[in-house]
Amino acid sequence: MTILTKKLPEEKVKKIDEIAEKMQTSKTIGIVDMKGIPAGEMHNLRNKLRENMHIEVVKKSIIKFAIEKCKEKLKGIEELKEKLEGMPAIILSQLDPFKISKLFSQNKAPAFAKPGQIAPEDIVISAGPTPFAPGPMLSELKSKGLKVKVEAGKIVVQEDSVIVKKGEEISEDVADLLIKLGIKPMEIGLEFSGAWEEGYVFGKDVLVFDVKEYISKLESAANQAFKLSIGLPYPTKQNISLLISKAFNEAKTLAKEKDIFVDALAGEILAKAQAQASELDSYVEEHKPKQETKEEKPEESKDSEGNTQKEGD
C-alpha cells in the first residue's frame, strides 16, 4: 500500500490497483466524458465496443490515483489528469487512439434535442400524418410555420418544413415539439477528452473528428495536389499518363504551327492535302471555260441536172 492509497478504503485501493495494472498493459489509455449519456445508451455502447476496448466507469479520484501509480512506468501519463472533465470514464485498449475515435463516431445513437443545443444539420418535419387529433396542437404546429390540415380526425403536415436551420440554436418550445413528434435530430456517443499513447497525450481537438468530413477533406486535398502536379509539371505514378498525353498533344500543335513533318502528323497532313486537292479539282471544274457550239446548216443536195438544192426546197 502506497502513501497515496494507505488512507483509502480497501475496496478503493483494490480498484486503483486493478485499473493501474490494466493501464500498464494497454496501448492506449483514454478519457471520455459521459455527461449527458443516458444509462441505457451507455450500456448499449459498452456492449458494442467491448471487443475493442475496456470502459471503466469510476470516480475522478480513482482515475487520478491510478495515473499517479503508473507515472514512473508510463512516460507522460500525468498529463492525462488534465483531461478529466464532466463525468469521466477511462478507456483501455490495444487499438490506437484514432481507430478508437473512429469507432466512437460509427457507434453514435440518435437522441432528442435539448434547449440551447445547436442543430448539426437542418431539422426537418416531414410531410405526413401526425398522431395528434385536432386541438391545441393544430395552433402550435401552425405557429412554427408548418402547413397543416385535418384528415380522418388527425392533423396532417402538408409539406416538408425546415423548423431549425443548421447552426441555429434549438429553442425550448421547438425541442418540446420535436419530442412530441418523436424526432431525434441529435447524436449521442463517446468522445475523447484526451488519450495517451506511447508517451504522448493527444487532445480532443486532434482526436474528435467527423469521418465523412475527414474523407471529404482528404479527397479535396488529393484533387488539389493532382492539379498542382499537372501544372508544375511534376511526374508521379498517378499523373504520368496524363502528362505524356499532354506533352504529345502540345508537340503535335507545335509541329503544325512550324510546318515540321513528323510521323505522328503524316496521316493528318495527307488527309489535309487530299482535302485541298479535292477542293482544287472542284474549283477548276467550276471555273473552266465553256466551248461554243456552231449553228447547224441545212444539208444541201443536188437535183438531176446538177443544181444545188437546200433541204426543204
CATH code of the domain covering residue 198: 3.30.70.1730
> pTM of the prediction?
0.61
What pLDDT score does 202 carry?
94
What pLDDT score does 255 carry?
82
Ramachandran area for residue 67 (φ above 0: left; ψ -120 to 50: alpha; else beta): alpha
Q: List 93's β-bridge partners, or say none.
A: 28
Q: Is residue 297 a part of any domain in this protein?
A: no
What pLDDT score does 5 carry?
52
Q: Are residues 81 and 197 in the same domain?
A: yes
Q: Are residues 21 and 64 in the same domain?
A: yes
Q: Are residues 100 and 196 in the same domain?
A: yes
Cell numbers for 236, please give them.
508521379
Q: Is residue 309 a part of any domain in this protein?
A: no
Cell numbers for 120, please give them.
448539426
Number of domains in the chain: 3
Q: Are residues 15 and 80 in the same domain?
A: yes
Q: Nearest to residue 134, comparing CAs of 159, 147, 160, 152?
A: 152
Q: Are residues 156 and 232 in the same domain?
A: no
Alpha-carbon distances, residue 207 vs 30, 215, 302 (angstroms): 10, 15, 126
What pLDDT score does 3 carry?
44
Q: Are residues 79 and 49 in the same domain?
A: yes
Q: Is residue 302 a part of any domain in this protein?
A: no
Q: Are residues 103 and 25 in the same domain?
A: yes
Q: Give the domain extent around 268.
A: 218-282
10-residue averages of pLDDT along the chain (313 residues): 63 93 96 88 90 93 94 94 92 95 90 91 92 89 90 91 93 93 91 94 85 84 93 91 90 82 73 78 73 55 54 51
Q: Is residue 292 a part of any domain in this protein?
A: no
Contact 119, 109 (CB under 8 A): no
Q: Are residues 95 and 203 in the same domain?
A: yes
Q: Are residues 97 and 222 in the same domain?
A: no
Other CB atoms within 10 Å distance of the CB of residue 90:
23
Other CB atoms within 10 Å distance of the CB of residue 86:
13
Q: Is residue 197 a part of any domain in this protein?
A: yes
What pLDDT score does 147 carry?
92
* Nearest-angstrom CA–CA distance, 150 and 50: 49
Q: What is the DSSP code string of the chain?
A: --TTTTTS-HHHHHHHHHHHHHHHT-SEEEEEE-TT--HHHHHHHHHHHTTT-EEE---HHHHHHHHHHHTTTSTTGGGGGGG--SSEEEEEESS-HHHHHHHHHHT-EEE---TTPBPSS-EEE-SEE-SPPSSHHHHHHHHTT--EEEETTEEEE-S-EEEE-TTPBPPHHHHHHHHHHT---EEE---EEEEEETTEEEEHHHH---HHHHHHHHHHHHHHHHHHHHHTT---TTTHHHHHHHHHHHHHHHHHHTT---HHHHHHHHHHHHHHHHHHHHHHHHHSPPPP-PPPPPPEEE-TTS-EEETT-
What pLDDT score does 287 carry?
74
* Buried b / exposed e along 202-229 (16+ C-beta atoms within 10 A): bebeebeeeeeeeeeeeeeeeeeeeeeb
Q: Is residue 178 a part of any domain in this protein?
A: yes
What pLDDT score does 1 carry?
42
Q: Is residue 196 a part of any domain in this protein?
A: yes
Q: Are residues 199 and 72 in the same domain?
A: yes
